[in-house]
């Protein structure tokens, strides 16, 4: 497929793949999104403040707040108001946490409840761990795992600064966690390390500087090990949410397809339970390989001026997978 003319500095193989992944009627908008400044998303840190205490002062300060239909304590402001948001008293006090709206979707789909046991298997820098802690009202058991030392310390500092006192942090390879806590957790979040294609933007050359087909393959191998650990760490009846900020089918549909080959009918993909505008169903096939039809409820969010690109899949574990 011929791509519309754009002054995009991305690698040609990426653009060719993009044209095969994105529906033709959406391609122009996605290409424009790589050029357009994105809105600044944020959510209220309910460990520190109640929404009603935060929202009106922000509006009184002249910020243009837009609500989020599927998350009552989340908002966005136009890109040009990002600096004012960062300069606000609410930000200085830790009452708000800046986070792209797409990045909030995995935890909303996971829907952790107060008192549960929840595992965040690739947790740094901690945005989603904090969101989990807020939803659980600082109760229950939250385990946050990170394998890279520098990212682990950033995670721990972030959690402490934001008041997430019930989270236990572990400097550990997430692929080994299941051996220590087999079928222990009620819910598991795996926001997996990925090629980060959904975050590409022309204003940030570092976002795409290291992309290559080889990187996609490398990430897919890591994701395979982490997904196995995630399933084995989850109790029967529990929920796993798998997410990436990649658009690559090898890191998304293919990863879940392979999971079904490993665990068969012990797993079921369920609807995300969120009213998401413009969320795309998964691809049925990629480069001649057809994917398991049971993936149908997974969703791909395409890059836009409001959201980064993301892939999210909610999986229910129906029976024990330990052997």
Q: Are 164 and 177 in contact (CB under 8 A)?
A: no
Rounded to whole angstroms, the Cα distance separating 314 from 279 reads 14
Q: 134, 194, 245, 313: which is the annotated catalytic residue?
A: 245
The residues pairing with 234 across neighbouring beta strands, listed in sequence order, are 185
The continuous run of DSSP H or E covering 118 comes out as: strand 117-120
Q: Can you tell me the distance from the alpha carbon of 185 to that of 116, in angstroms, rounded to the nearest whole number?
A: 8
Q: Which residue has the tokens 């290291």?
A: 210
State the chain's maximal CA–CA distance in angstroms: 59
- The residue behind tokens 């006192």 is 165
Instruction: Please measure the distance between the N-terminal and C-terminal CA atoms of the chain and give it in whole angstroms.
Output: 47
245 is an active site residue: yes
124 close to 154: Cβ distance less than 8 angstroms: yes
Angstrom CA distances, 26 to 30, 192, 280, 306, stand at 6, 26, 10, 15
DSSP secondary structure string, 201-219?
-TT-GGGTTT--HHHHHHH
Residues in the chain: 323
Contacts of 56 (CB under 8 A, 6+ apart): none
Question: Residue 251 carries which DSSP code?
Answer: G
Cα–Cα–Cα angle for 178, 154, 81, rounded to 5 degrees = 120
Active-site positions? 245
């Amino acid at each position: 497929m011929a791509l519309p003319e754009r002054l995009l500095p991305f690698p040609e193989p990426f653009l060719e793949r993009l044209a095969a992944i994105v529906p033709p009627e959406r391609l122009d908008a996605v290409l424009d999104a790589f050029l357009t400044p994105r809105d600044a998303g944020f959510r209220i840190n309910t460990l520190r403040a109640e929404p009603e205490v935060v929202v009106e002062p922000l509006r009184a300060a002249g910020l243009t707040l837009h609500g989020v239909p599927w998350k009552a304590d989340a908002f966005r402001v136009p890109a040009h108001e990002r600096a004012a948001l960062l300069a606000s008293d609410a930000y200085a006090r830790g009452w708000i946490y800046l986070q792209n709206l797409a990045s909030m979707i995995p935890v909303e789909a996971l829907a952790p409840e107060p008192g549960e046991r929840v595992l965040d298997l690739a947790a740094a820098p901690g945005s989603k761990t904090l969101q989990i802690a807020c939803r659980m009202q600082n109760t229950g058991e939250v385990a946050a795992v990170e394998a890279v030392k520098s990212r682990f310390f950033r995670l721990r500092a972030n959690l402490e600064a934001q008041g997430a006192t019930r989270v236990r942090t572990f400097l550990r390879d997430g692929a080994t966690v299941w051996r220590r806590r087999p079928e222990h957790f009620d819910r598991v979040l795996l926001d997996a390390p990925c090629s980060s294609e959904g975050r590409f933007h022309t204003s940030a050359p570092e976002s795409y500087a290291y992309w290559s087909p080889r990187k996609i393959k490398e990430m897919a191998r890591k994701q395979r090990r982490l997904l196995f650990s995630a399933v084995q760490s989850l109790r029967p009846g529990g929920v796993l949410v798998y997410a990436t900020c990649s658009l690559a089918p090898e890191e998304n549909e293919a990863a879940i397809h392979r999971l079904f080959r490993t665990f068969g009918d012990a797993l079921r993909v369920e609807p995300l339970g969120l009213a998401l505008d413009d969320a795309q169903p998964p691809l049925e096939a990629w480069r001649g390989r057809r994917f398991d039809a049971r993936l149908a409820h997974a969703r791909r969010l395409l890059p836009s001026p409001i959201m980064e690109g993301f892939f999210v899949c909610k999986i229910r574990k129906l029976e024990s997978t330990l052997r």
